Amino acid sequence: MSAASFERILPEINEQNRHFWCGGEDGHLHMLRCDECQHFVHPPMPICTQCRSRALTVQTLSGTGRVASFTINYQPWFPGLEVPYCVAIVELDEQPGLRLTSNIVNCDLDAIQIGMPVRVHFEQQEDVWLPLFEPAQSVR
Ligand SMILES: [Zn+2]
């Protein structure tokens, strides 16, 4: 029913992105935010994409957003990959244009719609907490 159980190719963790990939251990999404202009910066980088400030601090996000776009994959690209599953672009509530490409899980694929409210749902693999998303309200 979801893509949650196969072994994923995990991101390479470094000091710049550790808060994002490992921060889910506390159940929350973390991203860099500019101290000067309050802009969230993702993917992680040492400089604000809005005002070029280097004063960035890790902040906790609500973990809620909406499906901006999605596709259902039916192709088993490699052994062990469970299909079908949903790849979605989720726009986070904190900021227009602040988007993550992820999977929608814990949901009937037929129920997924653009604009659907979702919330983060972490899946741990090794020392990485992958931010997946599930419906904010139950649509099972
Ligand atoms: Zn800034």
Is position 2 within any domain?
no
Sign of CA dihedral 46, 50, 52, 58: negative
Query: In whole angstroms, how far apart are CA 61 and each of 7, 82, 126, 140?
Result: 27, 30, 23, 26
The pLDDT assigned to 29 comes to 97
Is position 42 within any domain?
yes
Query: In whole angstroms, how far apart are CA 110 and each of 1, 69, 92, 123?
Result: 11, 14, 22, 22
Is position 3 within any domain?
no
Instruction: Round the average pLDDT of the chain to a whole number and report it.
Output: 92
Is position 47 within any domain?
yes
pLDDT tens profile 26-59 = 999 999 999 999 999 999 999 999 999 999 999 9
Ligand 1 mean position to 96 CA, how many Å? 15
- Count of structural domains within the chain: 1
The pLDDT assigned to 9 comes to 82
Ligand 1 mean position to 41 CA, how many Å? 8
Ligand 1 mean position to 63 CA, how many Å? 21
Span 72-76, average pLDDT: 93
Ligand 1 mean position to 131 CA, how many Å? 24
pLDDT tens profile 94-138 = 999 999 999 999 999 999 999 999 999 999 999 999 999 999 986
Is position 5 within any domain?
no
The pLDDT assigned to 23 comes to 93
The CATH number linked to 129 is 2.40.50.840
Domain residue limits at 57? 18-135
Give this prediction's pTM. 0.90
Tell me: pLDDT of 3 over 50.
no
Ligand 1 mean position to 94 CA, how many Å? 15
pLDDT tens profile 18-29 = 999 999 999 999
Is position 8 within any domain?
no
Is position 1 within any domain?
no
Is position 63 within any domain?
yes
Sheet with 40-41: strands ordered across: 40-41, 30-34, 56-60
